[in-house]
Amino acid sequence: MYLALFIFFAVLCVAGALNLLLQRHPINSALSLIVVMTSLAVLYLLLGAQFLAAVQVIVYSGAIMVLFTFVIMLLNAGREEHTRGSRAAFLVGIPGAAVLLALLVQIFLSARGHLAQARLGEYVTATHTLSAVLFRDLLLPFEVTSVLILIAILGAVALARKEP
Amino acid sequence: MNDLPSLHLWLIPLLPCLGFLLNGLLGRRMPKKLISAIALLCTALPLAQVAWIASRFHSLSVPYIERFATPWIAAGAFRASFDLVFDQLTLVMLLVVTGVGFLIHVYSVGYMAEEEGYWRFFAYLNLFMFFMLTLVLAENFLLMFVGWEGVGLASYLLIGFYFKRKSAADAGKKAFIVNRIGDFGFLLAMFLMISHFGSLSFSNIFAAIAQHPEIHGGFVTAIALLLLLGAVGKSAQIPLYVWLPDAMEGPTPVSALIHAATMVTAGVYMIVRAHILFEHSPFALGVVAIIGTATAILAATIAVVQNDIKRVLAYSTVSQLGYMFLACGAAAFSAAIFHLVTHAFFKGLLFLAAGSVIHALGGEQDMRRMGGLRKAVPVTFWTMTAAVFAISGLPPFSGFFSKDAILYQSYLSPTAGHALWLVGLITAAITAFYMFRLWYMTFFGQSRAHALEEAGSEHAIGTHAVETHGAAQTLAPAHAAHAPHESPWIMLVPLILLGVLSVAGGWIGIPQALGGHDQFARFLDPALSGRRHSFEELSIQMNVEGPAAAAAASAMQPSVPPTPNPSQERLFSLLSVIAALSGWFFADLFYRRKPGLAGRWVENARGIYSLLVHKYWIDELYSAVIVKPTLWSSRYLLRSAVDRGIIDGGGQLAAGSARGLGALVQRVQSGNIRSYAGWLAIGAAAMLLLAHFGFVLH
Amino acid sequence: MTVPLAYYLVLSAVLFSIGVATFLIRRNIITVFLAIELMLNAVNLAFVTFAHQWRMVNGQIFVFFVMVVAAAEAAVGLAIIITIFRARNTLNIDQVDLMKL
């Protein structure tokens, strides 16, 4: 059953990603990405990272993707036209990506024996473990990250403000 | 060596050098009196020193070598030093150089009085004295070469003294370049000497040859011929004489000092100094004699048709130098030096007197515009007369004895011979002819100062630009309107002194056949007698080692000249006098008694006249065969192909390829984000591939 | 039933490659941004997988930080996109190429 769950949600991820690639209108792509993120949240659950799954849904698909949707709405981005594109990207990039994929898959599959097998519910991370590490050992990075967010807010406000 | 106190020979060249530095560096702001005082002092003091040494000469042991503590070059086994040598030959040369040099300095004070660049002239003149004295005093070929090159430099600077005139600058360049060709021969000779003898010092080389002549055979000939090439360049012999007539662009005192009395005789001096080398190579001696004779007659024939007074004297110098070379070729080295000395007197006088004539006429150099000056410039006339008689070889003037010694010795010599003697005799007749022609045209008859302007005839081809005198560039009729005036006393005193020497200077060398004691030749004998010592040694060896060695040794040795036959010598002297008188007779005929006759002869012999006036087309030949191909190859081969094509092209190739590569790489920075991403992707893929398969391979 | 962890990694690789391909192919700036987010998510999955593998919580901590940074970056990036849109009135990424040599 674990395997079935995994396969189902994995296929959902890939399908969403491919949809992202193939859709013309950016809003469709954004919605596909939401599907991908939600499926990923389930996969995190399967791997025992329950807190992260929750955060993924709340922050990523709940906040970031909403931000994207708002921007798409704001800019009134329409369908993509066919314009002259970059040759180099196609000629050089696609083979590069393909090679990367092939290589990574080959590496991972060949290392199959060195990696463990996952069982459902085998190792579930308790949230307090997470928070212990976060707020005790990594307190400074945590605080720095909040400063980072503050700066991001300031930057975003400064950039997107309407010129008076 | 000797126990007497040092002669301080180093002072002799260094004093003029000091004069050069003072006048050269500070002279621009000094008054003329100070400049001339420095220059004269720095020439008179060496003269005084030489005179003092001469007075004590009998108590010196010669050769006296002054050595210096620090060596000049010490490279491996080769040593070169600054050593100076002093023997009879050096004494004679020093007396000529400093004596005649000093007189010409005095003359120049008057002659150059109105020139701009006065300080420059005397600086260069002192520079020349410095190098010439170094050349004469040197004890090895390397130091002599320093002096050799230096006098060439001074000659270039002085010929091009009126540097604003293109013809003068060109003449200076021509002199220097032609000299360089000769110097190339000198350099090769020095290299051969280093490689074969391991030293350039006279004493080492000459001793090595004298002791074992047989082991040096071919080398000696090669070195002698290369040295001859150097001498040919410096002393203006065939084929490198073409610079000397053009060198008349320089001021007249320069022509007198450098191109008559001293620099051009450096070649003769060098051959005489290296006489041991030449004596052991009869082939080289023969070449020397032939070159000398050919040059003598070639230059004499050209001088016959020249109209510029200085050009006649220039070709005359070339011709007389040919005589000196003939003497060297006949192994009559003391006769060569004797003629060098008397030639310095009368040729220096001829040039100075010509300068006086030019000065009197306000810059006129064309003899066809002279005439009738006998009463106007009497001192110049009488001194020049003495010189003309001397150079024509009329007794009892100095030229007679020296020229006679040369002709007689060459008749007797196995390396010269009867044919060359005959050519020399004919040349003597021609010499007398053109010198008396000059004498008549300049001083006798009516003044022709306005003749050519009224007739409106064009310049003959043999004349060249008028020497700048004062400010005038071209001869305006206004200048010729001044009455000819005698030169100031400062110019006349050297003329008078040289005149006395031209008359009496030969009396020290009167041969025994004519009642003298042959003092000059005897004086020089110890310096030139290396051969005789070795011959004596070899004759002892012959008796000890047997006939085979004797045959080999005698094949190496040039034969000792037979003892002169007095009555034969007197006969030959008579023949020379007859030749000179016949030259005078014809000159008198053509230029005093029947002036139109010369014109008619020229009409009948247009071809020959044209050949002579164009100097046998030798300059044109050199231009076509040597100069133009060199210019062509420099312009098209070396400049266009090598310099612009290969060298510049190589540089531009490097720069262009860098630029091209840069332009190529620049296209990666397109500003297009997607292409950046593409490159990123492929870069990451490449690194991953490398990492993965790299690990697998290892 | 067990799932070999390698499969999770393969999934991560596939998602990443699709993200790269989208980045290269699509011309709309916003779509390109979405592809970047996809790539970040793929990497997050890999981190969580390894956290499960080594039974350590550090991988998840890292994912946490990645998310935070992604959020900040998305905010600022979208603000920049809005600025560009106002300036150039286009969302075509090929027309934003002023930074070329």
Q: What are phi and psi for residue B112, nearest 5 degrees?
A: -95, 15
Chain-centre distance of CA A116, in angstroms? 24
Question: How many angstroms separate the Cα of A23 from the Cα of each of A17, A34, A98, B382, C92?
Answer: 10, 14, 21, 123, 16
Average pLDDT, chain B: 82
Q: What angle do CA B443, B448, B450 make, to 5 degrees?
A: 145
Chain-chain contact of C20 with B672 (C-beta, under 8 angstroms): no
Share of chain C above pLDDT 90, in %: 59
Chain-chain contact of A1 with C1 (C-beta, under 8 angstroms): yes
**B–C: how many Cβ contacts below 8 A?**
30
Selecting from C94, C98, C101 the residue whose C-beta is nearest the C-beta of B674 gives C94
CB-CB contact of B459 with B450 (8 Å): no
Print the SS3 string covering chain A. Answer: CHHHHHHHHHHHHHHHHHHHHHCCCHHHHHHHHHHHHHHHHHHHHHCCCHHHHHHHHHHHHHHHHHHHHHHHHHHCCCCCCCCCCCHHHHHHHHHHHHHHHHHHHHHHHHCHHHCCEECCCCCCCCHHHHHHHHHHHCHHHHHHHHHHHHHHHHHHHHHHCCCC
Distance between CA atoms of A15 and B405, rounded to whole angstroms? 125
Distance between CA atoms of B586 and B499, rounded to whole angstroms? 25
Q: Binning pLDDT at 50, 70 and 90, where does residue B150 land? A: very high
* The pLDDT value given to residue B608: 81
Chain-chain contact of A103 with B689 (C-beta, under 8 angstroms): yes
Amino acid at position A46, single letter:
L
pLDDT in tens, B475-527: 333 334 456 778 888 888 888 898 888 888 888 777 777 777 777 777 887 77
Chain-chain contact of B671 with C23 (C-beta, under 8 angstroms): no
Crossing angle of the two packed helices A26-46 and C29-54, in degrees rounded to 10:
0
CB-CB contact of A72 with C30 (8 Å): yes
Question: How many angstroms separate the Cα of C62 from the Cα of each of A43, A130, A132, B173, C51?
Answer: 17, 11, 14, 87, 10
SS3 B126: helix
| C contact set with B (CB within 8 A) | 20, 23-24, 27, 32, 93-94, 96-101
Selecting from C93, C98, C101 the residue whose C-beta is nearest the C-beta of B674 gives C93
- In B, minimum Cα distance to A99 occurs at B685
CB-CB contact of A116 with C53 (8 Å): yes
- pLDDT of B414 over the 60 cut: yes
Chosen for mutation from B661, B664, B672 (greatest number of chain C CBs closer than 10 Å) is B672
Distance between CA atoms of B94 and B335, rounded to whole angstroms? 17
* The pLDDT value given to residue B518: 73
> Positive or negative, the Cα torsion across B555, B557, B561, B562?
negative
What size, in residues, is chain B? 698
Nearest CA to C94 among B663, B670, A79, A24?
B670
* The pLDDT value given to residue C101: 65
Crossing angle of the two packed helices B519-528 and B333-360, in degrees rounded to 10:
120
Selecting from A85, A88, A100 the residue whose C-beta is nearest the C-beta of B684 gives A100
Print the SS3 string covering B560-621. Answer: CCCCCCHHHHHHHHHHHHHHHHHHHHHHHHHHHHCHHHHHHHHHHCHHHHHHHHCHHHHHHH
Mean pLDDT, residues B429-449 taken together: 87
Distance between CA atoms of A142 and A136, rounded to whole angstroms? 10
Nearest-CA distance B653 → chain A (Å): 30
* The pLDDT value given to residue A88: 66
Q: Cβ-count burial of B555 within 10 angstroms (0-12 exposed, 13-18 middle, 19+ buried)?
A: exposed
Chosen for mutation from B674, B680, B689, B690 (greatest number of chain A CBs closer than 10 Å) is B674
- pLDDT of B534 over the 70 cut: no
Who wins on pLDDT, B53 or A39?
A: A39
* The pLDDT value given to residue B698: 55
Chain-chain contact of C80 with A116 (C-beta, under 8 angstroms): no
Total Cβ atoms within 10 A of residue A61 = 18
CB-CB contact of B149 with B117 (8 Å): no
Cα-Cα-Cα-Cα torsion B215, B218, B224, B228, nearest 10 degrees, comes to: 180
Q: Is A102 on the interface with B (CB under 8 A)?
A: no
Place of tokens 């290589």: A103
Selecting from C23, C32, C98 the residue whose C-beta is nearest the C-beta of B671 gives C98
What size, in residues, is chain C? 101
Chain-centre distance of CA B562, in angstroms? 32
Q: Is B691 on the interface with A (CB under 8 A)?
A: no
Who wins on pLDDT, A20 or A87?
A: A20
Question: What subunits touch chain B, counting only 3 or more CB pairs under 8 A?
Answer: A, C
Q: What are phi and psi for residue A99, nearest 5 degrees?
A: -65, -40
Mean pLDDT, residues B256-277 taken together: 88
Chain-chain contact of A97 with B681 (C-beta, under 8 angstroms): yes
Query: Can you give the pTM of this predicted structure?
Result: 0.70
Tell me the chain C residues in contact with residue A51 when contact means C-beta distances shorter than 8 Å.
60
Distance between CA atoms of C10 and B698, rounded to whole angstroms? 26
Nearest CA to B141 among B189, B208, B210?
B189
Integer Rg of chain C from CA: 17
pLDDT in tens, A61-91: 999 999 999 999 988 876 666 555 666 677 7
Q: Cβ-count burial of B408 within 10 angstroms (0-12 exposed, 13-18 middle, 19+ buried)?
A: buried
Selecting from A4, A21, A47 the residue whose C-beta is nearest the C-beta of C49 gives A47
Tell me the chain A residues in contact with residue C69 when contact means C-beta distances shorter than 8 Å.
145, 148
Distance between CA atoms of B586 and B215, rounded to whole angstroms? 54
Q: Binning pLDDT at 50, 70 and 90, where does residue B404 land? A: confident
Question: What subunits touch chain C, counting only 3 or more CB pairs under 8 A?
Answer: A, B
Chain-chain contact of B678 with A91 (C-beta, under 8 angstroms): yes
**ipTM entry:** 0.90
Chain-chain contact of A99 with B685 (C-beta, under 8 angstroms): yes
Quick one: which H or E segment has residue B73? strand B73-75
Question: How many angstroms separate the Cα of B272 from the Cα of each of B227, B259, B421, B561?
Answer: 11, 19, 20, 17
Distance between CA atoms of A146 and B150, rounded to whole angstroms? 88
Distance between CA atoms of B72 and B134, rounded to whole angstroms? 15
Tell me the chain A residues in contact with residue C18 when contact means C-beta distances shorter than 8 Å.
14, 17-18, 20-21
pLDDT in tens, B156-194: 999 999 989 999 999 999 999 999 999 999 999 999 999
Mean pLDDT, residues B343-350 taken together: 92
SS3 B516: coil
Q: Is B665 on the interface with C (CB under 8 A)?
A: no
Q: Binning pLDDT at 50, 70 and 90, where does residue B536 land? A: very low
Chain-chain contact of C94 with B681 (C-beta, under 8 angstroms): no
Chain-chain contact of C38 with A17 (C-beta, under 8 angstroms): yes
Distance between CA atoms of B115 and B163, rounded to whole angstroms? 13
Chain-centre distance of CA B283, in angstroms? 24
Chosen for mutation from B668, B674, B679, B692 (greatest number of chain C CBs closer than 10 Å) is B674
DSSP string, B203-249: HHHHHHHHH-GGGGHHHHHHHHHHHHHHHHHHTT-TTS-THHHHGGG
> Positive or negative, the Cα torsion across C23, C26, C28, C30?
negative
Chain-chain contact of B678 with A103 (C-beta, under 8 angstroms): no
Q: Binning pLDDT at 50, 70 and 90, where does residue B697 land? A: low
Paired with B472 in beta bridges are B469
pLDDT in tens, B30-87: 888 888 899 999 999 999 999 988 888 877 777 788 888 788 888 888 888 888 888 8
Distance between CA atoms of A99 and A105, rounded to whole angstroms? 10
Selecting from C24, C99, C100 the residue whose C-beta is nearest the C-beta of B674 gives C24
Print the SS3 string covering C15-81. Answer: HHHHHHHHHHHCCEHHHHHHHHHHHHHHHHHHHHHHHHHHCCCHHHHHHHHHHHHHHHHHHHHHHHH
Total Cβ atoms within 10 A of residue A73 = 10
Q: Is B669 on the interface with A (CB under 8 A)?
A: no
Nearest-CA distance B681 → chain A (Å): 5
Integer Rg of chain B from CA: 31
Chain-chain contact of C24 with B670 (C-beta, under 8 angstroms): no
CB-CB contact of B393 with B400 (8 Å): yes
SS3 B86: strand
| DSSP for residue A71 | H
- pLDDT of B115 over the 80 cut: yes
Supply B228's token pair: 């001859």
- pLDDT of B455 over the 70 cut: no
**A–C: how many Cβ contacts below 8 A?**
242
Supply B627's token pair: 């100069």
Region of poorest pLDDT, from A94-108, B565-579, B597-611 = B597-611
DSSP string, B362-375: TS--BGGG----TT
Q: Is B672 on the interface with C (CB under 8 A)?
A: yes
Chain-chain contact of A101 with C17 (C-beta, under 8 angstroms): yes
Chain-centre distance of CA A17, in angstroms? 10
CB-CB contact of A27 with C38 (8 Å): no
Nearest-CA distance C58 → chain B (Å): 25
Nearest-CA distance A128 → chain C (Å): 11
Residues 6+ apart with CB under 8 A from B561: B331, B332, B409, B412, B413
Mean pLDDT, residues A13-35 taken together: 93
Place of tokens 């190339």: B184
- pLDDT of B543 over the 70 cut: no
Nearest CA to A118 among C54, C11, C6, C4?
C4
Who wins on pLDDT, A120 or B539?
A: A120
- In B, minimum Cα distance to A94 occurs at B678
SS3 B464: coil
Place of tokens 């560096």: B25
Mean pLDDT, residues C53-74 taken together: 92
Selecting from C23, C93, C100 the residue whose C-beta is nearest the C-beta of B670 gives C100
Distance between CA atoms of A112 and A121, rounded to whole angstroms? 21
Nearest-CA distance C1 → chain B (Å): 32
Distance between CA atoms of B463 and B308, rounded to whole angstroms? 5
Who wins on pLDDT, B296 or B489?
A: B296
